[in-house]
């Protein structure tokens, strides 16, 4: 299993969901997403442990944390994304 931190990005405007794009996985492959603040600390409610694992092949999968997908509280804030992936690839990521 590997994990990867992405450079800073901003959650803009009316964006309300995070989407993982074209996430082809092997049978047991999974991915999880953590949203961190500008200092690199997990944003409460968006930690890896709270992320509902993304499994299987999917396109534009909405990421959820304990069933919640609304990230509008982060609009306009600088955030960092931390991804944990096992036996999978991620081709894109979008706030929408």
pTM here is 0.75
Instruction: Please spell the DSSP secondary structure of 11-41, one letter per residue.
Output: --TT---EEEE---EEEEEEEEEEEE-TTSP
* Residue whose structure tokens are 């603040």: 37
Q: Note the pLDDT of residue 50.
A: 97
Q: Note the pLDDT of residue 27.
A: 66
Q: How many angstroms from the chain centroid is the CA of residue 85?
A: 11
Distance, in Å, from the CA atom of 79 to the CA atom of 59, rounded to the nearest integer, reads 23
Question: Average pLDDT by consecutive 10-residue portion of the chain (96 residues)?
Answer: 47 55 63 91 96 82 91 87 85 77
CATH number of the domain bearing residue 12:
2.60.290
Distance, in Å, from the CA atom of 48 to the CA atom of 35, rounded to the nearest integer, reads 8
Q: Note the pLDDT of residue 45.
A: 96
Look at the chain and report how many structural domains it folds into. 1
> Structural domain of residue 27, as residue ranges?
2-95
């Amino acid at each position: 299993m590997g994990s990867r931190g992405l450079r800073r990005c901003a959650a803009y405007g009316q964006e309300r969901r995070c989407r993982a794009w074209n996430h082809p996985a092997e049978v047991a492959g999974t991915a999880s997403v953590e949203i961190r603040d500008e200092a690199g600390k997990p944003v409460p409610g968006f930690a890896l442990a709270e992320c509902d694992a993304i499994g299987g092949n999917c396109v534009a999968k909405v990421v959820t944390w304990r069933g919640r997908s609304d990230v509008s509280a982060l609009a306009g804030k600088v955030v960092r994304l931390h991804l944990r992936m096992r036996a999978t690839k991620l081709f894109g990521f979008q706030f929408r």
